Amino acid sequence: MILPGWEATRRWRIVGALGLVALLGACGDTPTAQALRRTAPEAAAPPPVQGPHLLLVAPRRAVLLPVSGGAPRAIWRSEAGNIAIATEGPRIVATAGLRQMLMATRFEGPDPLDHPLALRGTEAFARRSVDLATNERDPSTMRFGVALDCRLSGRDEAGWVVVEERCTGGGASFTNRFWVQPESGAVLRSEQWAGDEAGVLTLEMRGF
């Protein structure tokens, strides 16, 4: 059964991800495009920022500000302009400017993470596929439709509801973690896989 609105969400995940790549990568030989074609150096600790923003803690530190969209869909770009992340709620659905690009994310049904508190003390299963490429976008490195089978479960831990998502597929095996505020259901910190070369990104949501 396909839930109402799911097809529209699925289309946004594809189109929005492509738009993210265009936002940073389709700039010809501009300084931004050049920055995306190489590995950026380690950033200094970001200064305090007012308003909603993402703090990328690892693999390197950066502050990302909203540039497009709104809850639950948004695109965030670093102050230096060389990293961009697209999110659907708390989930990373596309990236640009890292060691590897997550070009698109497609779910075969509703994402259980849309309602993280409902995962408390129970399990849910989800299947999604992703498209990956290097920053150079060399066709020989592109991988389309990498299928990931995931099991999600939530538990109470130190004042948080911690949701773990264990996934396998495409030769990868990883665990995503989401720290959910019990009172609001907001995910304020996460560790999310963004590709076998990009590895795990640690994000904190600030100013919300």
Could you tell me if residue 104 is inside a domain? Answer: yes
- Please classify residue 3 by burial: count the beta carbons closer than 10 Å to its beta carbon, then call 0-12 exposed, 13-18 middle and 19+ buried: exposed
Total number of domains in the chain: 1
Residue 117: pLDDT above 50?
Answer: yes
Mean pLDDT of the chain: 81
Confidence of residue 49 (pLDDT cuts 50, 70, 90): confident
**pTM here?**
0.77
pLDDT 10s digits, 139-192: 888 999 999 999 999 999 999 999 999 999 999 999 999 999 999 999 999 999
Could you tell me if residue 65 is inside a domain? Answer: yes
Could you tell me if residue 175 is inside a domain? Answer: yes
CA–CA separation, 24 and 26 (whole Å): 6
Could you tell me if residue 133 is inside a domain? Answer: yes
Give the least confident one: 10-14, 125-129, 162-166, 171-175: 10-14
The CATH number linked to 143 is: 2.40.360.10
pLDDT 10s digits, 101-113: 999 999 999 999 9
- Give the domain range for residue 94: 6-42+53-206
Residue 6: pLDDT above 50?
Answer: no
Give the least confident one: 28-32, 83-87, 111-115: 28-32
Could you tell me if residue 48 is inside a domain? Answer: no
Could you tell me if residue 47 is inside a domain? Answer: no
Could you tell me if residue 1 is inside a domain? Answer: no
Could you tell me if residue 113 is inside a domain? Answer: yes
Residue 42: pLDDT above 60?
Answer: no
